[in-house]
Homo-oligomer: A and B are copies of this chain.
Amino acid sequence: MEWIVDIVGPGFAQATQVQDVLFDGRSAFQHIQVASSPMFGRMLILDDAVQTSERDEYIYHEMLAHLPLLTHPAPRRVLIIGGGDGGTLEETLKHPIEQATLVEIDQDVVTVCRRFLPFIGGGGFDDARTRLVIDDGIEFVRTTSERFDVILVDSTDPKGPGLALFSPEFYAACTHVLAPDGLLVAQSGSLLYQRELTEMVRRHLRTVFPVVGTYWAAVPAYPGVLWGFSYGSLRHDPSHVNRTAISKRLTTIPTRLYSADTHTAALQLPGLPDV
């Protein structure tokens, strides 16, 4: 069996054994693979980086979707940028929203994930409230006349098609398509090994949002386990939510990990090595 070796720091690597490669192809944008592993089950791999895994996808997707969606008092229209595996979409559709618009640049990612990783996206793509748009997320945000309550940026690392989704121009464009009390959350990399990325995202968000912060989740398949999500909000502050109201709304939203307690804990960043 082969190993996927992810060099996360100088002379430091995380290695995952691969049993079967179920799909291996190139789209117009990237190298797409689906492989199975003893540790994490099936994994989506884009340009050699593990994007999501059968075992722990729910941690990443629940924390990306529910924390902002429950920070907003009543989200109706949600925009997902990226997230072609459908995991963020599935979590979003658990809420009583009117519409979820998913803008993914690469149709092949959606097609491959629906075929080989259907348990990640669930039936999200077939939900009547879902609108799938195959387009550049930046282009979509720049040109749409719609308004959204919550934007979820479920991107790859800042390289290839994902790069522009970390720019201040993109975040500025997002503020123009958000409702006056809207908020945006973006995955912002490994807290341990992409600290400059986290700092950059926060800096860029601060240029256009009054409320900015970072929260985290423990995602075992990702380098360094501690994964960051950064938010920019026009009004509602994720760190000042009504925990009772969250728990009440959650009675009709099934989650495995996210809860009012998880919400609070996620906003408390752990002490990290200063060298």
Contact = CB atoms under 8 A, between A and B. Distances in A.
Given A59-B273, A265-B269, A38 B14 contact: no
A106 interface: no
A257 to B, nearest CB: 4
Interface in A143-165: none
A197 B233 CA distance: 41
Contact of A15 (B13, B216, B217, B256): B13
Copies in the complex: 2
A5 to B, nearest CB: 8
Given A10-B39, A12-B15, A55-B275, A265 B268 contact: yes
7 contacts: A3-B11, A3-B13, A12-B37, A55-B273, A216-B270, A218-B273, A224-B225
A192 interface: yes
A154 to B, nearest CB: 19
Max chain B CB contacts within 10 Å: which of A256, A266, A270, A274? A270
A56 interface: yes
Given A218-B192, A218-B272, A262-B271, A9 B39 contact: yes
Secondary structure at the A interface, as helix, strand, loop or mixed, is loop
A110 to B, nearest CB: 25
A256 B12 CA distance: 24
Contacts of A217: 270-271
Interface in A20-37: 37
A9 B10 CA distance: 23
A138 interface: no
A28 to B, nearest CB: 32
Across the A-B interface, the 3 shortest Cβ-Cβ residue pairs = A11-B17, A11-B38, A12-B39
Interface in A189-234: 191-192, 216-218, 220, 224-226
Contacts of A19: 11
